Structure 1
Amino acid sequence: MSNELVINSTPKGDRIALLQDKRIVEYHFEESEEHFSVGDIYLGTVKKLVTGLNAAFIDIGYEKDAFLHYLDLGHNINSLNKFTKDVIAKRTSDGMLNGFEMEPEIDKHGKIDKVLAKNAPILVQVVKEPISTKGPRLSCDISIAGRFLVLVPFGHSINISKKITSKQERQRLHRLVQGIKPPNFGVIIRTVAEGKESEEIELDLRSLLAKWDAGTKALRDARPRDKIIGEMSRATSIMRDMLNDNFDSITLDNKEMYEEVRSYVQQIAPEKQNIVRFHQGKNKVFEQFGIEKQLKMLFGRSVSLPGGGYLIIEHTEALHVIDVNSGNKSNQEESQEDTAINVNIEAAKEIARQLRLRDMGGIIVIDFIDMKKPENKKQIYDVMREEMKLDRSKFTILPLTKFGLMQITRQRVRPELNIQTHEVCPTCGGTGKITASIAVSDIVEQNVDYILSKQNEKGLRITLHPYLYSYFMNGFPSKRIRWWFKYKTWVNLIQDSSLGITEFHFYNKSGEPIEIHG
């Protein structure tokens, strides 16, 4: 299975697509402006204590105060608060906790007003981004994720991913980390650490300690609402978590980000730095990889399946509902049961992809086509579990009920992603009335004639919808070839499926837009 990461930079932010075997499985949009991302660590201020909820509301600079529950304080909140006050008062400037005297752990059944005080400074980490009308959700159980390890300040234990099953390997990793871990730090060993050399793991630990130490120095002069430690960008965090031997390419169209990503890959996996590529083609990078078209087809209410069936995806405030339909496949199998099992298997695979793609969270209810045989129901359950293994979010899948319903809960830490798949007509502007749409090809030809004959432009380039592109390129001699005979210059046509069907743009050889007449 090949993995490709494609990043398109726009004025509003970066669009990130993860492809597996050329098909999109994850899509993210990272806004340019300040965003309260999962993993960011802030210096907050306790604004309100709500004993009825056993929680506090913390001001970290978002328009609504962030939520912090008692159970998210962590056992060593008193040690964290003591350290925070010492650093702000400049009684200590070192992030290394060698001589730090730990405070007693809090009671897990305690009350929040016994631990926190109103208007007190507090170091917090975002664990859930702002969603809908809710502010961010916070934790004081600080952790800093690296490629192989997760560093937990004020912890003691060494925990190993359950996905590392070899007893011998678990013992090796435990001994290795035990020998290099400084006091008053806990460590979680990630799955990707399995089989890695001690030098790589030690380098990762040193990098995490340096990040914590830099955060400590930033905390000394920080003011309330300041970000102390920022989580890396969504693109680099995907590489940190997923970069492996199956990664074939990372393609970017922004030179500055290209240098940043290449430097990061060189740091974490030097042997893979050559897979980072800068896109310089005439087509947009998402168009080149066929991503634009996939996005338009995959984010609608209805999603087609390869065998002729389709999904209907509905979103409500409480849950997501997915209905599986057989479509035109209903007459292709020998029996209704065969039709049901085949469509349901295709649906389970596509649903697992849709959950990652749209980052759907909370409760998901799937209405599969009814099946009578218990072994077929179990097969659908097994297929869904297998397909969801690649999902990095926490999830729980329940077997099908007697009504053919499957229930899934999936962790939601970011707002669900939606893409507008209905376009406003560029000709009528959404009014429902257009003039001379049939003459759009004539309008293009008139402008080509004017630009090449009157303005004597060379290196003319036109971006247009694939339908218009085909109209001018197909046939012999094609319209484009006729232009060459008439004007003695080639017109470069570029198809762009993000444009409306009657939309087109002219550019000169420098890539600057050319004003056209209608």
Structure 2
Amino acid sequence: MNNELVIDVTPNEIVIALLSNKQLIELTREKSNLQFAVGDIYLGKVKKIMPGLNAAFVDVGYEKDAFLHYLDLGHQFLSLNKFLQQALARKGKNISISKMRLEKDIDKNGTISDVVKSGQYILVQVAKEPISTKGPRLCSEISIAGRNLVLIPFSDKVSISQKIKSAEEKNRLKQLLQSIKPKNYGVIVRTVAEGKRVAELDQELRALVEKWEDSFLQIREMHPPKLVLGEIDRTTAILRDILNSSFENIYVNDAAAAKDLKLYISGIAPEKSKIVKHITGELPIFDQLGIDKQIKSSFGKTVSFKNGAYLIIEHTEAFHVIDVNSGNRSKAGNDQETNAMEVNIAAAQEIARQLRLRDMGGIIVVDFIDMHLAENRQKVFEKMKEMMALDSTKHNILPLSKFGLMQITRQRVRPEMNVEIQEKCPTCLGTGKIAPAVLLTDQIKQKLDVIVDRQSEKHLTLKVHPFVGAYINKGFWKNLRRQWQSELGIKLTVKEIPSYDLLGYKFFDKNNQEIEY
């Protein structure tokens, strides 16, 4: 499996596309000023206690108060709260967690009002980003993720990833971490730590502890709501979590971002630093690498996947519904049961990809084509489990019912990715009527006359759909581009952009800034 990452950096957002064997499997959009991301640690203020919900609403600076349930406080909440109060009151360097005497665990059957009071300052971590009309979901069992380890303050437990199968390797890692970890710190060993040497793990562990303790140096001057420790940006988080030997290339269209990525990768995997490639050119990076076309074909209500078969994907407030249809698919020599099973097997692969691509969470109900044999239903179930094993997000899959329905739950910590592929026609503006296409070149020429007359520009670029560009450049000596250049005394470059609508066009100056007219 060959993985590639394509990163489109714009002034307002960063769009990250993850490809596996050239096929788009994940798409992430991150605003440049993103706040309240999963993993961010805030100093908040309790606004209201809700005994009926056994929860509290906490002000962390979002427009809606964030939600903190009693069960998300963590066993060592009293120790965390004690440490926070000492840090807020203490001048100079904070006391080390290793030197603290931990408080007893809170009662797992207790109530929120026993341990939290209205108006109290509280340290919380974002567990779920704001989704729809809901504010962030919080927890107070703080964890700080690194590439190989996850640090958990106020705990002494060492846990090993279940994906590490070797019992010998599990014992080695557990004994190793127990011998090097500071007192009152717990550690979760991630899958990528398998086979790592003690020096590398010790270095990362020290860095995580230092990162945690340094975040409290200025906390005495903070007034909630305030960000105490931010999670690294989404691009770096993806690299931290999934970068492995299967990654062949990371393409990015921004020089500064490429430099930062190389620097980060050289720190965690020096042998992979050369895979970062800075892409330049007039075409958008997603157009150059064929990502835009995959996005347009993978989102929307209807998704085709094999030999005319397709999925219908509907979203409701309660859950998502996916209907599998065979379309006009037919295979000579196969009976209906065999055809149904083949379509369902292929659908299972595409559904697993769609769940990751759209980051669909909550309850998903899949209506497969009816199969009468229980063994065939089991094969589809096994295929779905196999494909979903590649998804790192927590999920649970139930076998198909007699009606061909499969239920899937998938953890949702961020809003669902939704790309609207049907747009209001920029040419007719939704009226359904356009000016005669034969007049398009006359309209372009008129706009060109106005720009040259008003702005005295001598070097212009016209960006159009490839069909229109081919027409303007048709011929060698007598094409329209050369005629316009000669008539207006300018240098005109025609660039063909596949993502433009058929009759759309834009003018740009020599600095590649769009010219408004």
Same fold (TM over 0.5): yes
Bigger Cα displacement from structure 2, 506-515 vs 193-202: 506-515
Distance 1:178 1:36 in 2: 33
Distance 2:174 2:516 in 1: 67
1:83: how far off?
0.3
Are 1:496 and 2:493 matched, yes or no? Answer: no
1:144 counterpart residue number: 144
Matched residue SS, 2:413: coil
> Residue type of the partner of 1:122?
I
Check the 8 A contact 1:484/1:490 in 2, yes or no: no
Matched residue SS, 1:328: coil
Q: Which whole-Å deviations, capped at 9, do the CAs of 1:299-357 have from their partners, x for residues lacking one? A: 11000113211110000000000001111213656321222122112211111011011
1:478: how far off?
7.2
Distance verdict in 2 for CA 1:340–1:152, change over 3 Å? same
1:252 counterpart residue number: 252
Distance verdict in 2 for CA 1:454–1:160, change over 3 Å? closer
Are 1:371 and 2:371 matched, yes or no? Answer: yes
Matched residue SS, 2:379: helix
Gaps spanning 5+ residues in structure 1: where? none
Q: Which whole-Å deviations, capped at 9, do the CAs of 1:98-154 have from their partners, x for residues lacking one? A: 211111111101111111111110000000111111111110000000000000000
1:131 counterpart residue number: 131
1:374: how far off?
1.9
Are 1:113 and 2:113 matched, yes or no? Answer: yes
1:495: how far off?
3.4
1:434 counterpart residue number: 434
1:68 counterpart residue number: 68
Check the 8 A contact 1:483/1:490 in 2, yes or no: no
1:198: how far off?
1.7
Are 1:397 and 2:397 matched, yes or no? Answer: yes
With normalisation by structure 2, the TM-score equals 0.93
Percent identical across equivalent pairs? Answer: 50
2:177 counterpart residue number: 177
Distance 2:92 2:402 in 1: 62
Bigger Cα displacement from structure 2, 334-343 vs 103-112: 334-343
Q: Which whole-Å deviations, capped at 9, do the CAs of 1:70-104 have from their partners, x for residues lacking one? A: 11010100000000000010167336312111111
1:25 counterpart residue number: 25
Are 1:513 and 2:514 matched, yes or no? Answer: yes
Bigger Cα displacement from structure 2, 123-132 vs 457-466: 457-466
Distance 1:407 1:466 in 2: 45
> Residue type of the partner of 1:160?
I
**What is the aligned length?**
514
Residues 271-282 of structure 1 correspond to what in structure 2 (within 5 A)? 271-282=271-282
Distance verdict in 2 for CA 1:439–1:58, change over 3 Å? same
1:283 counterpart residue number: 283
> Residue type of the partner of 2:161?
S
Distance 1:332 1:450 in 2: 62
1:211 counterpart residue number: 211
RMSD: 2.5
Distance verdict in 2 for CA 1:494–1:43, change over 3 Å? same
Check the 8 A contact 1:371/1:404 in 2, yes or no: yes
1:456: how far off?
9.7
Check the 8 A contact 1:86/1:92 in 2, yes or no: no
Residues 221-236 of structure 1 correspond to what in structure 2 (within 5 A)? 221-236=221-236
Distance 2:97 2:212 in 1: 11
Distance verdict in 2 for CA 1:92–1:483, change over 3 Å? closer
> Residue type of the partner of 2:388?
M
1:401: how far off?
0.5
Distance verdict in 2 for CA 1:82–1:311, change over 3 Å? same
1:449: how far off?
8.9
1:52: how far off?
1.2
1:336 counterpart residue number: 336
Matched residue SS, 2:306: coil
Residues 288-303 of structure 1 correspond to what in structure 2 (within 5 A)? 288-303=288-303
Distance 2:340 2:491 in 1: 54
Distance 1:155 1:454 in 2: 69
Q: Which whole-Å deviations, capped at 9, do the CAs of 1:382-422 have from their partners, x for residues lacking one? A: 11111111212100011111000111000000111111111
Distance 2:338 2:468 in 1: 42
1:448: how far off?
7.0
Distance 2:484 2:440 in 1: 21
Are 1:357 and 2:357 matched, yes or no? Answer: yes
1:463: how far off?
2.1
Distance verdict in 2 for CA 1:102–1:456, change over 3 Å? closer
1:460: how far off?
4.5
With normalisation by structure 1, the TM-score equals 0.93
Q: Which whole-Å deviations, capped at 9, do the CAs of 1:453-510 have from their partners, x for residues lacking one? A: 999977653322344345556x8x4799774699699965433343222111223443
> Residue type of the partner of 1:396?
N
1:171: how far off?
1.2
Residues 402-413 of structure 1 correspond to what in structure 2 (within 5 A)? 402-413=402-413
Q: Which whole-Å deviations, capped at 9, do the CAs of 1:145-184 have from their partners, x for residues lacking one? A: 0000000000010000011111111111112111210000
> Residue type of the partner of 1:200?
E
> Residue type of the partner of 1:238?
I
1:267 counterpart residue number: 267
Distance 1:420 1:466 in 2: 23
Check the 8 A contact 1:148/1:190 in 2, yes or no: yes
Matched residue SS, 1:327: coil
